[in-house]
Amino acid sequence: MVLEKHRRILILALRRYQEADREWSLAAQAARDWFPLSARRAALAIGSPGSRIRRLHEQRERALLRLAAARQLLDEARTRPRCAVLLLSRA
């Protein structure tokens, strides 16, 4: 049950990362298309602070961090012993 919850979180984080990566890639390509091939730099542009490209890049980075955290939580949940503890008390 706990593993299934962590799997769902990981899948959701992966989908969000893929969406953010796709949006950033499309926007970065559209920005590169403004410049002739001879003027393009080899480095990736992430845009000026506050620009749409920068915002999309930062969203992508946050989604990647969430994906890594979700993967780590799932790995930790897999290593935990799968036993229930029954606590009894004297009344």
pLDDT in the model for residue 91: 65
Is it the case that residue 88 has pLDDT exceeding 90?
A: no
First-residue to last-residue Cα distance in the chain: 31
Mean pLDDT calculated for residue range 2-14: 94
The tokens for 84 are 């229930």
Asked whether 26 and 19 are in contact (CB, 8 A), the reply is no
The tokens for 2 are 């706990």
Q: CA 39, CA 53: separation in Å to the nearest integer? A: 19
Q: Considering the chain, what percentage of its residues have pLDDT values greater than 90?
A: 52
Q: CA 17, CA 67: separation in Å to the nearest integer? A: 7
Q: Considering the chain, what percentage of its residues have pLDDT values greater than 70?
A: 87
**pLDDT one-digit tens code per residue, 13-53:** 999 999 999 999 999 888 888 877 776 665 556 778 888 98
